[in-house]
Amino acid sequence: MAFIDGIADFRSDTVTRPTPEMRKAMAEAEVGDDVYGEDPTVNALEEESAAAVGKPAAVFVPTGSMGNQLAIGSLTRPGDEVVCVEAAHVRNYEVAAAAAVSGVQFRTLPGPGGRMTAEEVGAAIDRSHYHMPRISMLVWENTHNVSGGTVVPYDMMVATTAVARQGGLSVHIDGARIFNAVAATGTSAVEFAGLADTIQFCFSKGLGAPIGSILCGSEDVIEEARYIRKRLGGGMRQVGVIAAPARIALRDRDRLSEDHEVARLLAEGLANRYPEAVDLASVETNMVVVDAGAFPFPVAELVDGLAGRGVVIGTLGPRMIRLVTHRDVNADDVVRLLSVVDELS
């Protein structure tokens, strides 16, 4: 049985609802005006988050998009270029904020799985003419959402980041799901973040809080980010009410490995039935990308059949399905999903 209203929602890890413990913490949160730096719950969250990734400072933001954009705004100048993979969230799904807000453009690399090699980045930033934009920043996304929650390996990040540093670039990690990368690899968040000037991570994804993300970095960069946050209308007041569940989400981050186990169960269940449907090697964290073209029935029938059993899934085009695990789905829900596949087969 799913946890929420009998519905098992596999569309995204953003769909979790706050736990009773989180709701209680929201109701009881000590608050103050955070624009004056006087919300004790936010201050505690910022300290705990900075410590979790080994940075001196952090600023709480409403969304991951704002966290990424504050990093870009703080570390670039208008007219600069930012290097990232083609399918980066920061490039494709933030409504061109980098151009509209910070006046920068992206220089993209193919980046399958979110990965960029040292050679690729070296070639991309090898420029010496005044005709050309200044390339001033490299952005990693780890785990990489659109590739199906794939991990960018630490060793690759080390080698590629070194080349970027030699070229004078600053480095940001869009770590919306960095703790999924940690759970999958054993590399610590401090190690990943140690490669970058800034890292943002989301409380509202697999960590399971209702709202919020955080940007971590040096005191100077975070001070600059606070100005841009205010400029964008992100100066929030008695925001301890949302920082309180985020603190619980951060405290409980080790539970992400359970989501990975459920994703693996799901992937194996599908691959046992239809081997062409799932590339098991690509299932590294909490997402399973399914080629529904391998099923002998149309995707629409599957979506309808599952809906009839209270299972919600999302499609990525006519044949691809992305299934995401999180705190509010479990192994029983996987059984429920697979039973509908069996009925349609």
Ligand X SMILES: Cc1ncc(COP(=O)(O)O)c(C=O)c1O
**Given the rule CB under 6 A, which of 61-69, 165-173, 304-312, 321-329 is the region that contacts ligand X?**
61-69
Decide: helix, strand or coil at residue 284.
coil
Q: Out of 202, 225, 242, 262, which residue is the one contacting ligand X (CB under 6 A)?
A: 202
Asked if residue 213 binds ligand X (CB under 6 A), the reply is yes
Q: Which CB sits closer to ligand X, 144 or 336?
A: 144
User: Closest approach of Cβ 142 to ligand X, in Å?
Assistant: 9
Asked if residue 145 binds ligand X (CB under 6 A), the reply is yes
Q: Which helix (H) or strand (E) holds 71?
A: helix 64-75
Asked if residue 286 binds ligand X (CB under 6 A), the reply is no
**Given the rule CB under 6 A, which of 60-68, 77-85, 99-107, 248-256 is the region that contacts ligand X?**
60-68
Task: State the CB neighbour count (10 A cutoff) for residue 108.
Answer: 18
**Given the rule CB under 6 A, which of 44-52, 58-66, 184-192, 291-299 is the region that contacts ligand X?**
58-66
Please report, in angstroms and rounded to a whole number, the separation of the first and last CA atoms in the chain: 23
Picking from 97, 79, 87, the residue whose alpha carbon sits closest to that of residue 137 is 79
- Distance between CA 128 and CA 167 in Å, rounded? 11
Q: Which CB sits closer to ligand X, 177 or 226?
A: 177
User: Closest approach of Cβ 65 to ligand X, in Å?
Assistant: 3
Which parts of 14-33 interact with ligand X (CB under 6 A)?
Answer: none
Asked if residue 87 binds ligand X (CB under 6 A), the reply is no
Picking from 323, 27, 60, 321, the residue whose alpha carbon sits closest to that of residue 204 is 60
DSSP 8-state symbol, 281: G
Decide: helix, strand or coil at residue 151.
coil
Dihedral over Cα of 198, 204, 205, 206: its sign: positive
Q: Out of 65, 76, 170, 198, which residue is the one contacting ligand X (CB under 6 A)?
A: 65
Asked if residue 176 binds ligand X (CB under 6 A), the reply is yes
Asked if residue 149 binds ligand X (CB under 6 A), the reply is no
User: Closest approach of Cβ 211 to ligand X, in Å?
Assistant: 9
Decide: helix, strand or coil at residue 309.
coil
Q: Which CB sits closer to ligand X, 64 or 240?
A: 64
Sequence-separated (6 or more) residues with CB below 8 Å from residue 104: 72, 76, 78, 79, 80, 81, 82, 98, 136, 137
Q: What is the largest CA-CA distance in the chain?
A: 64
Asked if residue 141 binds ligand X (CB under 6 A), the reply is yes
- Distance between CA 48 and CA 208 in Å, rounded? 17
Asked if residue 208 binds ligand X (CB under 6 A), the reply is no
**Total residues contacting ligand X (rule CB under 6 A)?**
12
Asked if residue 63 binds ligand X (CB under 6 A), the reply is yes
Q: Which residues bind ligand X (CB under 6 A)?
A: 63-65, 68, 89, 141, 145, 174, 176, 202, 204, 213
